[in-house]
Every structure is written in structure tokens, then in C-alpha cells.
Copies of this chain bind each other. A is one copy, B any other.
Amino acid sequence: MSLPEKTVERLSEYRRTLLDCLNQGKSHIFSHELAALLHNTAVQVRRDMMLMGFTSMQRKGYAIKELIEAIGELIDTSEGLNVAVIGVGNLGRAITGYFQGKRSKLNIVATFDIDPEKIGRMIAGVKCYSLDDFPKLVGDLQISIAILTVPPEHARNIADFVASSGIKGIQNFTTAPLNMPPHVYLEEYDMITSLEKIAYFVKNHQG
């Protein structure tokens, strides 16, 4: 029924690359061309197209505009998806700024913190609210995804609190591993682990 995780990741990357192509005036693209722009193979591209049920124009390649739309239909929701950043430290601030104006269908609509100094301020154009008001604002602002950038020692509690407020997905940037109920889609990214992994493979020098 639903697509493999890795395929979804690639679709997101395809779309971004395809938008560039469209801006350059291209209307169609071959599987091997798209593959070359990313770092994978033509077979992989074709297989992903097959999995999402998208077919090319024979001998002309894939119609770029249509493909972008097809990917959008899978990933985007018509109304767009609203995102909150929990924890306005350096990382939270950086992420909020990073996303501003990047993607139209994924909007960071609020940030949250417990520090009275920060509450009420604007962070890269987005207002910072008290974490206490989160449950109410989830409804008011239609927030469905939370990005967690709090100190690791508070991550579990805050994640549980956030999850119980009706959030559908959490992106965890803290080093604390979380345990979420099955109705919350959890994605974790651990910078330190990521770097230590590089260190291991650098040490055992195999690229």
C-alpha cells in the first residue's frame, strides 16, 4: 500500500532536482539524466517511478512538470502541513531560519520554549510561545509535526507531552532515544552518532 521509506526519501530529492530542471527550461528528463544529477543509478530511478506508478512518455523521458505534481500528490497535503519547533536553542533557531521560505507546503508556524526571556519574542519571523500553551496551539494553528531541539535530559518528558497533544509526527534532534506510541511517526537524527560513524569508517579507511 505505502511506499518504501527509501523511495519516499528519494522522491523528495527528485522533486527538488526536478524543480531546478524546470527552471532551466527542460520539459522532459531521462532516467539516466536524473540519476546523474543525484548520486544513484538509472535503474533506481525507474524502479521508484514504477513504485509510485508514474510512467514516461515513450522515448522522450519523464515529463518534469507532471512528475513534480505527482510527487506532490504523494507527499504534500492540499492544505499544507504545519510544523512547530520545540526548544529555541542554537539548533532550534538555525532550523527555524533554515526553513523560512524554503518549501511552501511545510511551514514552521510556531516555536516553543520554557525560558521567559524567549517567550513572546520572534525567532526568524516565527513567534515563540510558552510550552504550556502547546496543547491549545496545536489545535489553533493546526500543528501536526514537531521538531524537537531541547536539552537531552528533558527530551523524553517533553516528547511525551508533545505526543499526547495530538501531534502526528516528531523529528527528534536530541541524543535521547524516544519511545513513541504507534500513531506518532518518529524520525530520529543524532549528529554525534552520525559523526562517530564517519570516524569509524575513516579510521578503517574504506570509502
Return chain B residues, CB-CB under 8 Å to A170. 198
CB distance from A98 to the nearest CB of B (A): 6
Interchain CB contact under 8 A, B201 and A169? yes
Interchain CB contact under 8 A, B191 and A98? yes
Number of copies: 2
A185's contact among B16, B105, B198, by CB below 8 Å, is which? B198
Interface residues on A, range: 35 or more
A200's contact among B3, B16, B90, B198, by CB below 8 Å, is which? B3
Stretch in A6-14, A43-51, A57-65 touching the partner? A6-14
Interchain CB contact under 8 A, B39 and A74? no
A185-B169 contact, Cβ under 8 Å, with A13-B193, A103-B192, A193-B12: no
- A137 and B5 CA atoms in complex are apart in Å by 40
CB distance from A190 to the nearest CB of B (A): 7
